[in-house]
Amino acid sequence: MPTSLTTLATQHLATARDSSSGRSAQTLVGGHTHTLRQTLIALRAGAALDEHENPGEATLHVLAGRVRLASGDTSTDGSAGDLLVIPDARHSLTALEDAAVLLTVAKLG
């Protein structure tokens, strides 16, 4: 049975708006014990995922809204429909407006 990313993004954005952290997430495929993991993350405008390490090869598909992916002195903005490659370095993600993204990670090792 297919998963509607549009429906899930809408649901998680509503949860993120009401959350004290300003975010909501759900792992859709895989998990910590698998090589491949896909997680839908919703962020209220201004909410962020603070700087953290990249656990492997990773991409970010912006499903709704706008985000900023930053690493060191470099940042890239993404809008709905954009696919961003996450750098192999410490990085952060900030919602420039209410946003939902699909994080895909292929864990190293």
Residues 44-74 have pLDDT tens digits of: 999 999 988 877 789 999 999 999 999 989 9
pTM here is 0.91
Q: What CATH number is given to the structural domain containing 33?
A: 2.60.120.10
Of 52 and 18, the one with more pLDDT: 18
Give me the number of domains the chain comprises: 1
| pLDDT on residue 75 | 95
Contact in structure between 47 and 67 (CB atoms under 8 Å): no
**Full residue range of the structural domain in which residue 43 is found:** 5-107
Contact in structure between 50 and 87 (CB atoms under 8 Å): no
